[in-house]
Each structure stands twice: as structure tokens, then as C-alpha cells.
Chains A and B, each alone.
Chain A
Amino acid sequence: MSITLPQIIFLVVAIGTLFTGVMVVVARNLVHAALWLILSFFGVAVVFAMLEAGFIAVVQVTLYIGAIAILIIFAMMLTRKVMNDTEPQTNSQWVLSLVVAAAAFIGLAGLLNATAWSPLQAVSLEGSVAQLGRALVEPNQYVLPFEVASVLLIIALIGAVAIASEKN
């Protein structure tokens, strides 16, 4: 079974995303960790693009990198002591957490191995964005969760403004 170019690209992207994911946790400097997180978001967006979900890939870049990552960076920079972080990276419970993480990894790997994966059927992509839009506003599809989610966002927005505005 010869290796094809899409497989090479997927391997490179997957290994890159895993590496940046590990660096998020391992990096000493918090802002560096945020930047590695941005790179891992990119990796996930590339995986989405390779699965022919272009819309989700672009939404991933827009929301995760353009909003959430900026939010994380702002939150880190507006608190003090970001520049000089000299605490040790592990605390006294590292053995137990290592055991739990290894057990979770073995369990998940076993589960993934035992599943019978079938190849995805290729879906026609013509007008997929239009289908998504229609699904969000059709009465018998997802309009109710859509409206409830927008109300939730408005509540969060008003709450943030109320907390941030200084009332003497």
C-alpha cells in the first residue's frame, strides 16, 4: 500500500498539531503557551479543511484564533506576574496524575482500536453553506436553539458591560 500525498500531508499536520498541543502544556512562559495554542487551532483548522468542511475550518480560525485566543492573551496580559513566572511546573501529585492520564490514554486507544471504522460517504458540497443557513432558521430544524443561543450571548454581553462600567 503506497503512501499518497494526502496521507503525507495529513501525517505532517497531525504530528504538528500534537506537538503544538504538547508544547501548550509544557511551555514555561504563559504567553508562549497561548501562542502554541494558536498554532494547534491552526492545525485543527487544516484537518477540517482536509475533511472538505471548508466552512467549519474558516469558522475555526475566525472564532478560536480571532476571538478566543485574543481573549486568552488579553486575560493573561491584564493580570500581573505574567512576565516572571518562576513557579515549578509540577506539584506533589504528579505521580497520581501520570497514572490517571496513562489509564485514560490506554482506555481511549483501546476503544479507538476496537471500533469498526467505515469510510465516510462523500457528501455533495453544493450549497452546503446555504443548507446550514436554512437549517438555522427553519421552524422544524434548529431555529429554537439558535434563538436561545443568541439570547444567551446578549445576556453575557450585557453582563460584561454591567460589570465593567464603573458606577459610583
Chain B
Amino acid sequence: MIRMNGFIAALAAAACILQGCSGQRGASGKKTVIGVSLMNVSNEFIVMLNKSMDEKARQLGVELIVNDAQRSAEKQVQQVESFVAQKVDAIVLNPCEVEASSPAVDKALAAGIPVVNVNSETRTPPTAFVGSRDEDAARIAMSYIAQRLGGSGGVVMMHGYMGQAAQIKRDQGAREVLAKTPGLKLLADQTAEWDRAKAMALMENWIQSFGDRINAVFAQNDEMAMGALISLEQARRKGKVLVVGVDAIADALQAVRDGRLDATVFQDARGQGGTAIETAVRIVRKQPFDKETMIPFHLVTRENVGQYLKATAP
């Protein structure tokens, strides 16, 4: 399969040379420019997404203009407006919010500029979407808990910011598994706002109220899982409680390798970022492209953590 891909790539390269590499240059002879608006570059996952986009752009010989929306949908709309004014060839949008970032997509499409949404959705359908299904991540994590506990036990769940798309979907996925596994009892669920310090306090309080009844913790991201883990270790209870997170950030992978964290779910930033740029370039070059690319999640445990540690090395 890999060899096959290599062959296709070689063919594409040959075709490119024959055409005088018109793909790299737009019709006017200029270099292809892609505007990128990212949700928030102070988030480790988004930083990785950004990096993989830069790599792919360098590989394909296109130019990126990367803006940080700093979690504000309003800022994101402004950034897209300025991309439209600059007449970029395509826009890659990493939406802050489902509803509030939609006008950005509307405006770009109205101006005839294709939009590729990456990682999260907007209400307005873009030209193409690259991402992962958050429900799947939670499903994978909760199924792992169900399997390790033999289908019965007490579980607590830490939510992200209430009302964010990722929180809603991870909640959905987790509850699907809970509904199918009547032996698993959800003792409590509460938000720790994706935050490690808040998760520590919440876990300490849960240890006080439920004590030995907690058999497993599902945190909707790794930051919170790490917080819960530290609290459990300090209370000398980690040996009896399973902790599972989502995202596979560097810290969590270390903890999995050291046998502290039981599992995390790998969301493929590299795959998402790279594919988003590739799709945008295909659209600009009028090549066939997938309207929807789903990059799968993977469960990471101590057995397979090695390969992910390498993949996310800074």
C-alpha cells in the first residue's frame, strides 16, 4: 500500500513537471496562498495542528498566513474577512464555535473562496471537512473502562467547558457506552473546565464523598486526567482507580509510559492538519478531493505508547 502511494506520488510529481508545475503557481503566476484561522494557539493540540500545517505547506510549496482567533469567534470572523480582502486562494478554518463562527464560512463562500474546516464544525457546511468524531473518542475511552472493570463498577466523569462542541459530544459518546453497560454506575459528573488545577480540586472532593466506591475516572481531556491522577496518587488510591483521558498530550503519554495513567485516546493532530492543507490545495488546483475526511482516534495504553511518544515529540 505504501509502495503504491509512493508510485502515485511519483506519477503526480512527473505530471507536475510536465505541466511546468502550474499547481504551485496560481493562474496569475503567483504562489498559492492559504489563510488559516486557528481557534487558540495557547492550546497544545492546536500548536501541534499548526506545526503539521506548516510542514505540509512547505512540502507542497504553498504559502500560509496563520492567524490566532484566541478563542473568540468574533475575531475569527474578522480574520476571515481580511483573508477575503487579501484574496487568498483558500481558507482553512479551525472554528471556535459551531454557530458563532458560521458567518466566517458564509462570507468566504460568498466571495468564492473555498473553506476547509478542520477539527471542529460550523453550522454552515464548508467546502470540505477534516476532523475526527469526538463521540468516538469518548466511546473508545469508556469502552476501555468497561472492559477493564469487567462491566461493573463506579465511574466519575469530568466534563470540559459546558456547552462546547467537544464537551457535548464526548459526553454523548460516554453516555452511550454507560447506557449499554448497566453494571457501570455514574456516581457523579462535573466540569473541571479542561483545567488541571480544577480537576485536582474536584477529584479531591470526590474522593471525600465517594471514597472506595470510585473504580474509574473518565476525564474528557488529558489535562483533567492528569489532575485527577495527581490527586489520586497523593491520596494513595491510584492503585485502586482507573484513570483515562483523551487527546494524548505529551505529558499524558509520559504518564502512560510510566504506568501511572491507564490510557488516553490519541487524536491525530498531524493527520488533521496535514490533510486539511492537502485538501485545500487539491481544491485550489481543481483536483478531486474528499468532502469529508475522518481521521480515526486510537486507544493508547502502555503496550503501544512507544509509537505515539515519537509521533508527538516536539
- Asked if A and B are interacting partners, one says no
